[in-house]
Structures are given as C-alpha cells and as structure tokens.
Amino acid sequence: MRTRNMTISLIIATWFFSAAAHATPTVMYNGGFAVGIQGLELSGAEYRVDFIEGSYNSIYQYSAPLFLGNESGAAAAADAIMNVLNAEVVTPHIGINPEYEVLWVPYLESAGDFRTEQRGYSSLTDSWGSYADFQGGVDVDYAGKVSYLDGKDLH
C-alpha cells in the first residue's frame, strides 16, 4: 500500500499599485522552489503572492483574507495563480513533496473552520489543476506549507 504525503501551501497576496499597466506576472524562486508571484493581475489590480507556512489564525492574526465572503473572487484568484504556475517552462513546486502539493485561497470563516478554493499539483499530470474546495480548522497548522491570499495596500 502506497501512502501519499501532501504539501499544502497557503497563499498570501499583497495588493500593490503599479505604474505599468498589465505587467507580466513573474514566479519568484528560492532554493529551487516557487515562493510567490510578482505582478499577478486580478480585476485590474496587481498583487504580490507569497507562499507561506502557518495556520489560518497565525496568518490572518492582524487582517482578514482578501476574498473573505467572496467565493467567486477567491476562485478567480486561485485560477490566476494556477495559470501562472502552469505557464512556466518547468512546472514549479512550492514545497518539499513534488508528488502532491496544494494552494489555498480562503473565502469563508465560521465556527472555528475556514473554507478555501483549492488548486494543486500532481505528479500524475505534471501540472497544477483545480481540486474540490477545502475546509479545515483555523488553529491547525497543516502538514508542509500552507498558503493563503491576503491583501495589504503597500502605499
């Protein structure tokens, strides 16, 4: 019986304004792993996306997720991130387990749980794809990296 480890990445996006209209998004790397995306465009605004570790509560300790209460916005952001990752010449990995990795963009928090749009990488397809939404506890630091999307005005 084969077990499958999972790396989970929470996305934090920082909202910033750019003088350049329609900048090309750039995947940022460190040590061979994708650590974020610079210049992701969503609904006419540009975002910086960081893939970081931590529980929902630790990441959103000081501010709410950008798409809280906006499931369609979270889905659009998750799709945009997935498309940028799939456009790289070599499919990027965000964590130590290249067999299976996921990214989350939260849209709901209720009664100690959160729900997210979920996009993931599978070695079976060698690409990032769309997965069913994820629900988890706000205090749990899930295995590997966890990535959420958060908007902060840099100005």
Q: Which among 39, 7, 5 has a CA at the least distance from the CA of 119? A: 7
Q: What is the pLDDT along the chain (155 residues), one digit of tens a residue?
A: 333 444 445 555 554 444 445 578 999 999 888 988 888 888 888 888 888 777 888 888 888 888 899 999 999 999 999 999 999 999 888 876 666 688 888 899 998 999 988 888 887 888 999 988 989 888 887 654 445 444 443 32
What is the C-alpha separation between 137 and 46, in angstroms, rounded? 30
Other C-beta atoms lying within 10 Å of the C-beta of residue 84: 21
